[in-house]
Amino acid sequence: PQNPAGAQTSTSVQIEHVTKRFGNTTAVNDVSLNIKSGEFMSLLGPSGCGKTTLLSMILGILDVTDGEISFNATRVDDIPMHKRDVGMVFQNYALFPHMSIRNNVGFGLDMRKVPKKEREKRVEDALSLVQLETLAERYPKQLSGGQQQRVALARALVVRPKVLLLDEPLSNLDAKLRKEMRIQLKRLHQDLGITTIYVTHDQEEALSLSTQVAVMSQGVVQQIGTPQEIFLHPCNQFVANFIGYANFFEGRLEGESGDNFIFRSEDGLVLATKKDQAHSVGDSVLLTIKPENIKLVEGLSGRNSVGGRVVVSDYVGNTTGYEVLSEFGDHLKVNVLGFESFPEGTELTLYLDPAHLLMVAKE
Ligand code: ATP
């Protein structure tokens, strides 16, 4: 596609020891991030962790309390928003209701006094980028949510921003449209290569879209890594929990056997878990496993199998989620692909594969 953002696709963003305080609340606490040119960086975390505050400081609608923000190593935290060349898409789209789609998209160019001819061309290119050429004369309320979101995207891109900021841009869309828009966003980023910072609390979105993910909690970055690093090697309990490791066992490594440590939980559950460099026998550890990595079987026994009883069974189409009460008193979450019928009350065996058990640091 024509590339209205083409002129500026090589901007890196440096966030150095940035803090934001509102009175007694520290919304962002000494955050440092190095975002390379062309990167798609997600800020992932629960509500209230400081994602939007950090984004607002990069945009320039909020001042930093401490620290520095730079684009290509040039400070921007001390210059006004309109001089930073940042494009922004808000969760609620924030379109002007009394302006046509064409004029909504052209607004940023009017503010910059771009000549009429060039304006027309760039608006046309931006609309075609999000496949909305045919709806240019309509008004926002005559468009669907997904179409409005694409207008917001075109409006942000038409000014050729150095950096594109997206604050939960898909969260007002229904599940199906959300997935479609996610693919479109991904393609757009691949085509334009524009440095993008994306705020979300949805781990699937963050993992699918990003080249780098920063997981945040309480104003602090807990871990930065590629989606794979975050998913396979969460650095602590918070990150593990947030990206879907729902089962945790506290205990001690009491011995070893071949490639495995032998772990004993406080309740007496004994599990073999793959050795790693970071731990040794005698350590207190937190062991975790994802719901989809526990197998439910009937009548098996042996190493890493635990007896249990189905408490809740929750069929949701492709998968069935179970809550199982183990013989050691743990409530375990288990996801099984497809429909396997273990009604509530079924006695069965859980198998926890040593290869899927992970040791993480406590919060
Ligand atoms: P959400 O996903 O719900 O938008 P978030 O991760 O974006 O959450 P922020 O909006 O950045 O979180 O808020 C971080 C913290 O700062 C919260 O505790 C919030 O109450 C507080 N906060 C944000 N803006 C202000 C403000 N203008 N005045 C006082 N406190 C604020």
**Fold match between 13-241 and 245-360?**
no
Averaged pLDDT for residues 298-319: 87
| Residue located nearest, by CA, to atom 18 of ligand 1 | 48
Distance in angstroms (rounded) separating the CA atoms of residues 221 and 234? 13
Predicted confidence at residue 2, as pLDDT, reads 41
How many other CB atoms sit within 10 Å of the CB of residue 186? 14
Q: Please tell me the distance between residue 167's alpha carbon and the centre of ligand 1 in angstroms.
A: 13
Report how far apart, in Å, the C-alpha atoms of 356 and of each of 22, 42, 163, 176, 242 are. Answer: 42, 26, 38, 31, 17
| Residue located nearest, by CA, to atom 1 of ligand 1 | 47
Residue 141 burial by CB count (10 A; 0-12/13-18/19+): exposed, middle or buried?
exposed
| Residue located nearest, by CA, to atom 21 of ligand 1 | 27
Mutate to test the pocket of ligand 1, among 51, 55, 167 (most ligand atoms within 8 A of CB): 51
Distance in angstroms (rounded) separating the CA atoms of residues 256 and 64? 50
Tell me, what's the ipTM?
Answer: 0.94
Kindly report, residue by residue over 332-359, the tens digit of the pLDDT: 999 998 766 789 999 999 999 999 999 9
What is the phi-psi region of residue 95: left when phi exceeds 0, alpha when psi lies from -120 to 50, beta otherwise? Answer: beta
Of all atoms in ligand 1, which is nearest to the CA of residue 28? 14
| Residue located nearest, by CA, to atom 31 of ligand 1 | 22
Q: Please tell me the distance between residue 203's alpha carbon and the centre of ligand 1 in angstroms.
A: 19
Kindly report, residue by residue over 272-288, the tens digit of the pLDDT: 999 988 899 999 999 99
Of all atoms in ligand 1, which is nearest to the CA of residue 22? 29
Residue 56 burial by CB count (10 A; 0-12/13-18/19+): exposed, middle or buried?
buried
Kindly report, residue by residue over 32-57, the tens digit of the pLDDT: 999 999 999 999 999 999 999 999 99
| Residue located nearest, by CA, to atom 5 of ligand 1 | 48
Q: Please tell me the distance between residue 256's alpha carbon and the centre of ligand 1 in angstroms.
A: 46
| Residue located nearest, by CA, to atom 30 of ligand 1 | 22
Contact indicator for 88, 58 with CB cutoff of 8 Å: no
Predicted confidence at residue 12, as pLDDT, reads 96
Domain ranges of the chain: 13-241, 245-360
Q: Please tell me the distance between residue 50's alpha carbon and the centre of ligand 1 in angstroms.
A: 6
Q: Please tell me the distance between residue 148's alpha carbon and the centre of ligand 1 in angstroms.
A: 25
Of all atoms in ligand 1, which is nearest to the CA of residue 168? 2
Largest alpha-carbon pair distance within the chain?
Answer: 76
% of the chain at pLDDT higher than 90: 74
Q: Please tell me the distance between residue 23's alpha carbon and the centre of ligand 1 in angstroms.
A: 12
| Residue located nearest, by CA, to atom 10 of ligand 1 | 52
How many other CB atoms sit within 10 Å of the CB of residue 13? 23
One CATH from 3.30.70.120, 1.10.10.60, 2.40.50.140, 3.40.920.10 for 245-360: 2.40.50.140
Mutate to test the pocket of ligand 1, among 20, 21, 49, 91 (most ligand atoms within 8 A of CB): 49
Is the pTM above the cut of 0.90?
no
Q: Among all chains, which residue has been given the structure tokens 């955050």?
A: 31
Tell me the pLDDT band of 164, cut-offs 50, 70 and 90. Answer: very high
Of all atoms in ligand 1, which is nearest to the CA of residue 56? 11
Q: Please tell me the distance between residue 180's alpha carbon and the centre of ligand 1 in angstroms.
A: 29
Contact indicator for 263, 253 with CB cutoff of 8 Å: yes
Pocket lining for ligand 1, CB < 6 angstroms: 22, 25, 27, 45, 47-53, 201
Q: Please tell me the distance between residue 178's alpha carbon and the centre of ligand 1 in angstroms.
A: 24
Q: Does domain 13-241 have CATH number 3.40.50.1480?
A: no
Predicted confidence at residue 92, as pLDDT, reads 79
Tell me the pLDDT band of 265, cut-offs 50, 70 and 90. Answer: very high
DSSP state of 236: B
